[in-house]
Structure 1
């Protein structure tokens, strides 16, 4: 692939987080002169979130490598069918099958520690019944979601988390881009948010080109940014 066609890396964050969760990796990619974008994920529904990311992707003039963390993995699985997406990188993420929901994939495995620490709250929906936002108990967030992260930063993440609509847990994926696009993945073996076996199963089913297992927590981009960056740049090298 020529320099002019160098892929843009689009980093897709997950539930209970925002673009700041990717900051250490974003900094490293920028330092290597890798084109990168870190758009917001609105966490309203899988279809709407995937459509929003796909719209970002399709505005990019040239190829795109999508990297999704956690729920962001489900988002890139659907959004990745965009014609200019050339690959998918899953970071502690959900690699859904077409027609499968987050709840269905998770339901095949024992619950992680997250399940006992979720908080439900209504949010208004114009012209309709209120929706339900799902977030993580603030006191439990550092241990369950941000283990291994600097305690002060973990507390900041806890009080600034972006909830996920409950609807996103039950909505089936309309597509599975890994059926036609190459993929790479990182399993966080010390993950307390997603059962690591959920990650392993999805990656194996998607026949990813390379899977690395790290003794790392869920926010592996924060605790192991060099390894995550290396996975992304290795994918770029394979695509060149």
Structure 2
């Protein structure tokens, strides 16, 4: 359940629904390898804020009678110009309570530390406050927490896609490992091999930053101003339980 983080944005795969793979697919495939017959659904849609996630995904998820539920939500709310974090956490808490009533094991996530990205670094305090609220909610309801904020590996730019907002294939693989580790599952996933970081000249670095502003930042800000989302015309990748291979 959730937004682009769980949908798999940044882990490009044109052969899969919505053209992405993602950490959740990777976890599901590994669980199916360890337990043949395991099935998986993915209701997440990029751009969704917390309230639409709760309204659109909680009851459909519970109707599938799952043993394990993951929820990542709230990041898109925090990125808006104004946000009531206390109200956001109250909505989050109520959703977590509803999900844990089912008896399924629940996995929650903190958000990544945005301090390294100029466009988002001013929001670092918001994310820190929200993350502490998520940790408290996880403790209160007995949920498993994957503390994205504290995974230092994500300081490596190679774990991020071009847009600097979504994880790359290597980043999604690293998150799949973190999820399986948090669940206490012995698995065979390993970090993806990475090419050495290029030694960019100052001029090339400035050119890359200009391209990022032109191709990502400006369109992203435009959608925020218009109140639209890149996920407006998309449907869940796997709305029903599906047997997923590697």
TM-score by length of 1: 0.40
- Higher helix fraction (1 or 2): 2
**Which structure exhibits the higher relative contact order, with contacts defined as CA atoms closer than 8 Å and separated by 6 or more residues?**
2
Looking at CA atoms only, which structure, 1 or 2, has the larger radius of gyration? 2
- Higher strand fraction (1 or 2): 1
